[in-house]
Every structure is written in C-alpha cells, then in structure tokens.
Chains A and B, each alone.
Chain A
Amino acid sequence: KNEVEQSPQNLTAQEGEFITINCSYSVGISALHWLQQHPGGGIVSLFMLSSGKKKHGRLIATINIQEKHSSLHITASHPRDSAVYICAVRSGSGGSNYKLTFGKGTLLTVNP
C-alpha cells in the first residue's frame, strides 16, 4: 500500500462544476503539498499545509491531521484547470529521513 493515496485517479467535469480531489496518507507528516502539473511537465506548487484550511482564488485545500486526510476543492471549474493534481507529504523528523512522498496524481479534465 502506498504511503500516499489519491482519489479519484481520473476525473471529468463540466465547466462550472465543483471539484473535490482527496488525499489520504499513512505516515506522520510535518506538511502536505498540493501540486499542479500541466502537459509538458512543469509543476506548480498550489498549497503547503500543516493544519486547517487555505484558500487561493477558486482553490481551497483542507487537511485533517487526526484523520490523515486532505482535500483539494476547485470551485466554478474551468477548462484551464485541466491538469494532473498531485498530493505530496513531507515526513520525518529531520536529518536523513526527512523526505517528500508523492501520490500517483489525479488527472482532471474540465470540458467546456
């Protein structure tokens, strides 16, 4: 079982729909990242969370440390939101075991 599990793997939505992508992890973490990757490879860091909720424009990220779960929400989705969304957790207490582990990603396609 992967340390970081994302669901769904693929998601197709119509423009304007509310989107939720989930991330569950099995290790203790110090931070969780949500990343966006467009075709061509470049990755953009959307959020880094260690507790609570963050909002940036139409994007909202939440994390529940006790349940080891995070969600990324996109309100009023748009075709330009089509991308792969990747959850990554930073675990370890420092020193040589401090590392970033990634989920497999969620491919989001928003149709006009």
Chain B
Amino acid sequence: KAGVTQTPRYLIKTRGQQVTLSCSPISGHRSVSWYQQTPGQGLQFLFEYFSETQRNKGNFPGRFSGRQFSNSRSEMNVSTLELGDSALYLCASSRTIRSEAFFGQGTRLTVV
C-alpha cells in the first residue's frame, strides 16, 4: 500500500514568488492536513481538509491557502513568498479527521 506522497521534495523560490505543493494521500484516506516545520517554531498546524472542504485552519496569514480535490489529493499554495516561509512542509492523511495520521516525507522549501 503506497504511503503519503509529497511533491516536489525540494524547492527553491525567490521572494515574492508563489509556490504550490502537492500531497497525495493513502488510498481510502479522505482527510489531509498540512504542517509547517521550522527550527525556531517547530511543527505548526496549517490546515486540514476533509471531503474537499477545509475543516480546520491554523494561525497563518491568508498567503497560505489550500484545496482538496475529489480524489482526496490536496495542494497547498503560498503566495508572495517571504524568507521566513523557508521550512519543511509536511502533509498527513487519515481516514477521517479523528483517525491516526500518516505523514509524507515533506517538501523542503527554501526562499532566497
């Protein structure tokens, strides 16, 4: 059974650009959540989707957005990138919002 797949694994962008990250959940999982990990702040919750609807959102500015498609795949978008957005972005999938979460390998974003 394939795990959670995140693409790309590594990304370098320039300040002011925008970026889209992709997450394919485990087959049968309908919930996808996104997290940002930085050395200073650790892991922080971004948002969670279930059945194409955003169910929960963390304390991040509106430049961070996401969506989920009918096949449960999810994308996360960050617009007007700032240097502080450099981080490891992780997604996790679960059967439902309350079930055990399985994490992907992450996308390491570097903003220069």
Contacts and interface: CB of A to CB of B under 8 A. Distances in A.
B98 A44 contact: no
Contact size class for B? 20 to 34
Contacts of B101: 33, 45, 48, 100
25 contacts: A33-B100, A35-B103, A40-B105, A41-B90, A41-B105, A41-B108, A42-B106, A43-B90, A43-B106, A45-B103, A86-B43, A92-B56, A95-B55, A96-B55, A98-B55, A98-B56, A99-B48, A99-B58, A100-B33, A100-B35, A100-B101, A102-B35, A102-B42, A102-B43, A102-B44
Interface in A84-99: 86, 88, 90, 92, 95-99
Contacts, number: 59
Interface in B28-46: 33, 35, 37, 42-45
Contacts of A44: 103
B26 to A, nearest CB: 12
Contact of A41 (B48, B88, B102): B88
B99 to A, nearest CB: 8
Interface residues of A, number: 26
| B42, B90, B104, B105 pick with most chain A CB within 10 angstroms | B42
B56 A96 contact: yes
Q: Describe B's contact surface by its main secondary structure.
A: strand
B100 A98 contact: no
B98 A96 contact: no
Contacts of A105: 42
B78 interface: no
Given A42-B106, A86-B43, 18 more contacts: A31-B98, A33-B100, A40-B105, A41-B90, A41-B106, A41-B108, A42-B103, A42-B105, A43-B92, A45-B103, A48-B101, A92-B56, A96-B55, A97-B56, A99-B45, A99-B56, A102-B43, A104-B42
